[in-house]
Chains A and B, each alone.
Chain A
């Protein structure tokens, strides 16, 4: 199988071996993903036992409420919409090697912007146009919010992990202040924004309660995946992420790409906020912060920044969080146990990766 002598035969042989390798690769990947998840479920079960809760009952509730009951699965799929947007934004940033951890601030500002603008827009224009306009300005505000970390990283090399985290504290507080002081609905006593009428929100799918935001989220994450893997722009971002010095050497405009990455990532986070408001919530209450952004980060890592895998993991997270919420009410487990579960999965997965790596090395040696 020599490339020099028989190019055609060589090429096909190469492809054939490559195919075998990828199939075995995928099997190995699946094993390396599902095995640790099962192990994590067992470990989490032990923790539940330790606090005096029957783990089988807990997992049963989670499955029942999050996946099997008609209402549960509809809630789960609805919950997926904002999570998919956030995951899409994180995939762009992480693949480009930029750790945008400010998702929650960007999400809330997008949400507040959408909540403030949509009820005003619907009064002056058709509902569909109002929704589009709300989406656009929610995205724009979130992008603007990311400009400070983006510029600092692009031109001063300031670590974006710190700046985005700080900006997220400011962002959540600013969102709160806006709700309480500027865009508060005068018609209610609770501090919240004006409520978007149900008929003006994003349409629901068929006869269910599932929001059509789910489709937008799926479209967003698939688009992001294709852009990152199939286009010149995506490749440029991946070069910056994988080897910034190679990017400079290859003549890429790294500062501009950095700013673009932050804008896209934050824009998608802003859209996540908007889709939650315009599709589900209808308004923003003061002190509302679902902290989706932080919950999605481990999911994106579990998916290894692959868009399609991320859809599966976001689904899993939604099942866990919707099911976990009702299981928590029934069994007295804290709501945050979902996050505990996800982190155990992540730790076990990292351990499995490490052991696999060591095993490979010792086999090679």
Chain B
């Protein structure tokens, strides 16, 4: 249904995307996405982190160019070459983080970007702002400093800025993430008034409730692909609850043509075996930009694969880092084979067999400028036989690295190639080789297939299955429910930093987990 409506270029579309594809090294961020944006509609783009929403916005606002496909403005194909060009076309973007100069007044901020040889036309601006704000029913203090405004007010200023520049299409990128509930409601009302004036709005969010409450049309993105669209007619026909459940189906439901889906082989785990990893009442304090953890408890037995499901940003990374020893904990205990390890350092935990495969491959997993060979041993610097008395044994390192390259099928031009030059899949193989090497007992995989192509995704999953089959305890953190369902024995759901339920992976586990993820009881 979605392809039929969006492929035919509708005269009413302000902006239309046709088969837009954008690739980054090792990642397909957008995979032939079609999108139609019409005046008088709030078009919600819904998807988890990494679904490709930001890339899509980047292309609409002129920051990035599509690799394939085309963008039509008013029915004409056009290359949006720069943010300035996008503004000239009437596409205004309000980014997630406020982009105002905090030390200047609102009026000064609105006047930025005018011709440098002219005096700023303050009176003209005031008249224009008065006109716009009256129509929208908001008040803006033009002479207040931006730093004195609340985040919601700052956002209004950004919207106002887009309006002053005659935008016809307003893109709001995760605009509610920094707002209070009251601010969110106000933004929703403001969006409604804007579309009533004939504006088109693209509203990006990963919160289902907001999508259902504020949208006219919803497009759901998943791993770079558009997996479904709910058009306005259908939107009006359904109640809010029905829309939410339809979105859940689109976001987490099984696709018939999904090549990744594979049946989970039935495995037997010794229920009586002593757990390899025991986590009891683990707590981490929240920080400014990340939630904390609240009394997390679970056990993993040898050969068992425990999955952690949840919407991204609910404490998954904090959990992985707390277990690995990278993040300070407030309380709780972590036992490896019965011995407490919560007081040990990162290196000591690794020594005892706890391995953490990070999701941030280039950010913290590797040193991009270092050769592939050295990156295999980043966590063993100084250890024999690769270093003797602190002196590097290059022959030993190269020998073992060549062995790992072969064993894990790392496609690299040479061992000396800087690791950042490899594709995402091959960098992941380097990490897998490093973490699964001798001595591993418990392995934490954090989003191990994130951003990988299909072949590498399947290869990585096979490695993980083999790891568990060798009798190791595996904790698999993933935002891809398919992945968890196809691999795990049990799946726990994390929400707001606590585990809200654990489900045996049998029968109707999918719907139970889906309900847990959006905050309904299983």
Q: Residue B392 at the A interface, CB < 8 A?
A: yes
The answer to whether B409 has its CB under 8 Å from any CB of chain A is yes
For A7, what are the chain B residues with a Cβ–Cβ distance below 8 Å? 402, 406
B325 touches A4 (CB 8 A): no
| The residue from A230, A238, A243 contacting B364, defined by CB atoms under 8 A apart | A243
Known: A3-B405, A242-B369. A249 touches B364 (CB 8 A): yes
**Chain A interface bracket (under 10, 10 to 19, 20 to 34, 35 or more):** 20 to 34
> Is B214 part of the binding interface, using a Cβ–Cβ cutoff of 8 Å?
no
B406 close to A246 (CB less than 8 A)? no
Q: How far is the CA of A250 from the CA of B369 in the complex (A)?
A: 16
CA distance A250 to B377 in the complex (A): 9
Residues of the B chain whose Cβ atoms lie less than 8 Å from the Cβ of A11: 402
**Per-residue interface assignment for chain B, residues 333 to 356, with 1 indicating a CB less than 8 Å from any chain A CB and 0 otherwise:** 000000000000111111000001
Given known A-B contacts A239-B367, A242-B367, A243-B364, A231 and B392 have beta carbons under 8 A apart:
yes
- Inter-chain contacts of B365 with A (CB < 8 A): 246, 249
Chief secondary structure at chain A's binding surface: helix
Cα A263 to Cα B447 with chains together (Å): 40
Taken together as a complex, chains A and B put the C-alpha atoms of A238 and B406 apart, in Å, by 27
Q: Is the pair B392, A235 in contact by a Cβ cutoff of 8 Å?
A: yes
Tell whether A236 is near chain B: CB-to-CB under 8 Å: yes
Query: In the complex, A3→B416 CA distance in Å?
Result: 14
C-alpha spacing A4/B406, complex, angstroms:
6
Instruction: Say whether B382 faces chain A, with CB atoms less than 8 Å apart.
Output: yes
When distances are taken between beta carbons in the complex, the residues of chain B under 8 Å from A251 are 325, 345-350, 379
Known contacts A249-B326, A249-B364, A251-B350; is-contact A239 B381 (Cβ 8 Å): yes
In the complex, how many angstroms separate the beta carbon of B343 from the nearest chain A beta carbon? 14
Q: Is A360 an interface residue (CB 8 A)?
A: no
The winner among A3, A236, A248 for most chain B CB atoms within 10 A is: A3
User: Is B415 in contact with A248, judged by CB distance below 8 angstroms?
Assistant: no
Residue pair A246, B367 in contact (C-beta under 8 Å) = yes
B368 within 8 A of A: yes
Cβ distance B348 to chain A, nearest Cβ, rounded Å: 8
Collect the chain B residues with CB atoms within 8 Å of residue A18's CB.
Answer: 414, 416
Query: In the complex where A3-B406, A251-B346, A251-B347 touch, is A239 in contact with B378 (Cβ < 8 A)?
Result: yes
Partner of B391, one of A231, A249, A253: A231
How far apart sit A232 and B347, CA to CA, in the bound complex (Å)?
15
Contact of B392 with A232 in the complex, beta carbons under 8 Å: yes
For residue A14, CB closer than 8 A to chain B, the reply is yes
Q: How far is A11 from B358 in the complex, measured between Cα atoms in Å?
A: 30
* A242 CA to B363 CA, complexed, in Å: 11
Chain A hits for B381, CB < 8 A = 232, 235-236, 239, 250, 252
A209-240 Cβ-contact flags toward B at 8 Å (1 or 0): 00000000000000000000011110110110
Which residues in chain B, 366-410, are within 8 Å of chain A measured between CB atoms?
A: 366-370, 374, 378-379, 381-382, 387, 390-392, 402, 405-406, 409
Residues of B contacting A239 in the complex (Cβ-Cβ under 8 angstroms): 367, 370, 378, 381
CA distance A4 to B367 in the complex (A): 25
Complex Cα gap A235–B377 (Å): 11
Q: List chain B residues, Cβ under 8 A from A235.
A: 374, 381, 392
Name the residue in A14, A236, A250 with the highest tally of chain B Cβ atoms < 10 Å from its Cβ: A250
Q: Known: A243-B367, A246-B364, A251-B345. Is A14-B415 also a contact (CB below 8 A)?
A: yes
How would residues 301 to 330 of chain B score, 1 for a CB under 8 Å from any chain A CB and 0 otherwise? 000000000000000000000001110000
Q: How far is the CB of B316 from chain A (nearest CB, A)?
A: 16
Confirm or deny: A17 has a beta carbon within 8 angstroms of a beta carbon on chain B: yes
**Per-residue 0/1 for B400-443: is the Cβ within 8 Å of any A Cβ (1 yes, 0 no)?**
00100110010001111000000000000000000000000000
Contacts of B415 in A (CB 8 A): 14
Verify A245–B390 contact, CB threshold 8 A.
no
Given the contacts A7-B406, A11-B402, A243 and B374 also touching, CB distance less than 8 Å? no
Q: How far is the CB of B212 from chain A (nearest CB, A)?
A: 38
Flag if A236 contacts B414 (CB, 8 Å). no
Alpha-carbon distance between A242 and B326 when the two chains are bound, in angstroms: 19
Chain A contacts with B in 346-362, Cβ cutoff 8 A: none
CB-defined interface of A238-282 with B at 8 Å, one 1/0 digit per residue? Answer: 110011011011111100000000000000000000000000000
Neighbouring B residues of A14 by C-beta, 8 Å: 413-415
Residues of A close to B405: CB separation below 8 A: 3
Partner of B390, one of A3, A231, A248, A250: A231
Q: Which of B350, B364, B387 contacts A245 (CB 8 A)?
A: B364
Cα distance A17–B349 in the bound complex, in angstroms: 40
Complex Cα–Cα for A4 and B407 (A): 9
Smallest CB gap from B388: residue in A: A232
Closest chain A residue, CB of each to CB of B411: A3
B358–A249 contact, CB under 8 A?
yes
- Interface-central residue, A230, A239, A248, A249, by most chain B CB under 10 Å: A249
Are B387's CB and A232's CB within 8 A?
Answer: yes
A243 and chain B: residue at smallest CB distance: B367
A246-B409 in contact (CB<8A): no
| Residue interface bits A8-20, CB-to-B below 8 A is 1, else 0 | 0001001001100
Contact partners of A238 in chain B: CB under 8 A:
367, 370
| Chain A positions within 8 Å of B392 at CB level | 230-232, 235
B364 and A233 form a contact (CB under 8 A) = no
CB distance from A195 to the nearest CB of B (A): 42
Residue in contact with A4 in the complex, picked from B348, B390, B409, B413, CB distance below 8 Å: B409
User: Whole-angstrom distance from the CB of A113 to the nearest CB of chain B?
Assistant: 30
Taking a contact as CB atoms closer than 8 A, the residue among B349, B378, B414 that contacts A250 in the complex is: B378
CB distance from A92 to the nearest CB of B (A): 16
Closest to B405 in A: A3
| B414 / chain A contacts, CB cutoff of 8 Å | 14, 17-18
Q: Which residue of B lies closest to A22 (CB)?
A: B416
Return chain B residues, CB-CB under 8 Å to A17: 414
Residues of A with C-beta under 8 A to B324 = 249
Which residues of A are in contact with B by a Cβ distance under 8 Å?
A: 3-4, 7, 11, 14, 17-18, 230-233, 235-236, 238-239, 242-243, 245-246, 248-253
**A/B interface sample: 27 pairs, CB < 8 A:** A3-B405, A4-B406, A4-B409, A11-B402, A17-B414, A18-B416, A231-B387, A232-B390, A232-B391, A233-B382, A233-B390, A235-B381, A242-B367, A242-B369, A243-B363, A246-B363, A246-B378, A248-B346, A249-B326, A249-B358, A250-B346, A250-B378, A251-B325, A251-B345, A251-B346, A251-B347, A252-B347
18 extra interface residue pairs, beta carbon distance < 8 Å, beyond A14-B413, A243-B363: A14-B415, A232-B390, A235-B392, A242-B368, A243-B364, A243-B367, A243-B368, A245-B360, A245-B363, A246-B364, A246-B378, A248-B326, A249-B324, A249-B326, A249-B365, A251-B350, A251-B379, A253-B345
Chain B interface (Cβ within 8 Å of chain A)?
324-326, 345-350, 356, 358, 360, 363-370, 374, 378-379, 381-382, 387, 390-392, 402, 405-406, 409, 413-416
Smallest CB-CB A-B distances: 7 pairs: A251-B346, A251-B347, A232-B382, A245-B364, A249-B364, A232-B387, A243-B367
